[in-house]
Amino acid sequence: MQSSNHRLRDMEQHHPLLSAGADVETGTGNRTLWFIQDSCGMVCAGMTWFLVLYAEFVVNFVMLLPSKSFWYSLLNGATFNSLAVLALASHLRTMLTDPGAVPKGNATKEYMESLQLKPGEVIYKCPKCCSIKPERAHHCSICKRCIRKMDHHCPWVNNCVGEKNQRFFVLFTMYIALISAHALGLSGMHFFTCIKVQWNECSDFSPGVSVLLLIFLCLEAILFLTFTAVMFGTQIHSICNDETEIERLKNEKPTWERRMRWDGMKTVFGGPPSLLWCNPFTGLRLRRLLLLTHGRRGGSEFSV
């Protein structure tokens, strides 16, 4: 933790430091399976999955399977379903990845002494989670933690977007935008085809049901495409300028060395440009994930 001056500063005078015997979460030892127990976030995350699966149902069973063209159904089905799997995988990685939480309650007297601070050295303590606050960290009232490079808290992924999961959030917005655009294109082709022939011949559902399902899918796709495309562009702009949304809204002057454009992209996505940037499964260890599912609950997130 670096700053121009160095001494301990309480952000709020009424909140004392934790005592030496207090329970301290160091963030080492036991690994955690991150999951925020927020009712609004869990509902929004569930709605996200429902809407994606609804789109899968309409695309596969209303448009593609009844099609008389085998290759049209095969190619579009493989493309749409692959993108949908990548979108849902990115959503899970965003939701279940620690966004960069600062260890809770580490501002103890012993820990402060172990830092061996020099005279005049400044560090900051968050009075809400009683942790030493690194540069560019902000406290999230929903996660109840300070998050490194916190961009914002997104209820649709039931998590903060921060230093460690921003990559997966960018992939989530990109894949949702792609399947939304694909669904709109398929819906347009389906309407055009069914207008030229009898509706009963281009769908296994009745004309009324098919039209209602397609209209709802188009509305969903337009809404999702608009939202995720804008969010994707905003995230790429933030990464290339090395500035989080909170820092931009607060108009904070950078006190850190900025990683601009490709340097910022390499930092977030890891390594030089490659197809691995688009892979939400990169770094996923299934054996560790299965072990973490046997953990216990703790605070606002499941922990192991």
Catalytic residues: 154
- Give CA torsion, residues 147, 151, 152, 156, to 10 deg: -100
Pair 246, 149: CB distance under 8 Å: no
Query: Token pair of 183, please?
Result: 């669904």
Using CA atoms, how far apart are residues 100 and 192, in angstroms rounded to an integer?
Answer: 48
For the chain, the helix, strand and coil percentages under 3-state DSSP, each to the nearest 5: 50, 10, 40
Distances (CA, A) of 193 to 69, 113, 187, 199, 266: 12, 74, 10, 9, 45
- Reduced to 3 states, what is the DSSP secondary structure of residue 284? coil
Label residue 66 exposed, middle or buried (CB < 10 Å: 0-12, 13-18, 19+).
middle
The token pair that represents 185 in the structure block: 């294109």
Pair 62, 76: CB distance under 8 Å: no
Q: Using the 8-state DSSP alphabet, how is residue 251 labeled?
A: T
Give the C-alpha separation, 136 to 3, whole Å.
Answer: 11
